[in-house]
Copies of this chain bind each other. A is one copy, B any other.
C-alpha cells in the first residue's frame, strides 16, 4: 500500500461528498433526505420492513422511523398481509410513486462527472465494478 493509495481514498471520499451534497440539494426541493429517497427507490415493488432494512443496510428499528416520516406525508402505506400477520408490507401510494419518479429523474440528471468523456466514464465504471466484484469474493 503506497502513499498514492491514500490519495485514491481521498479522491473517492471527496467525489462522494460532492455527489452527495448535490443530491441532497436536489432532494431538498422535495423535502426528502437521502435515506428517505433511497427507501422510495427500493420500493418500486412492495416489500416487508425487514427486507427494506436489509437493502438499506441498517437496523429494522431504523426503518420504522423513516417509514413513519414517509407515511405521515402520504408517500408510503403499511399494509398487512394475510399469510403472515406479523409482516407489514410497505407499499408506495400514488403520490409516492410520483415522487419516486422525481427521485429517479434527479439521479439521472446529476450534473457531475460530465467533465469526463463517454469513454472515460466507461473506463471508470469498469474499474469501479471490478474493484468491488473482486472485493466481494475475497476474504479480507
A44 to chain B, nearest CB (A): 14
Q: Is A17 within 8 A of B57, CB to CB? A: yes
The answer to whether B132 and A5 have CB atoms under 8 Å apart is no
Assess whether A113 is interfacial by the CB under 8 Å rule. Answer: yes
Q: Is the interface of A mostly helix, strand, loop or mixed?
A: helix
Interface flag for A62 (CB, 8 Å): no
Interface check A18, CB cutoff 8 A: yes
Give CA–CA (A132, B12) in the complex, Å.
Answer: 10
Q: How far, in angstroms, from A63 to B110 measured CA to CA in the complex?
A: 30
Contact partners of A128 in chain B: CB under 8 A: 8, 11-12, 15, 124
Q: List 18 A-B contacts (CB under 8 A).
A: A1-B109, A3-B108, A5-B113, A6-B107, A7-B125, A8-B113, A12-B128, A15-B128, A17-B57, A18-B135, A111-B140, A114-B138, A114-B140, A115-B134, A116-B130, A120-B127, A123-B123, A124-B131
A5-B108, A111-B140 known; 8 other A-B pairs, CB under 8 Å?
Answer: A4-B121, A6-B108, A12-B12, A12-B16, A16-B16, A114-B140, A116-B130, A120-B131
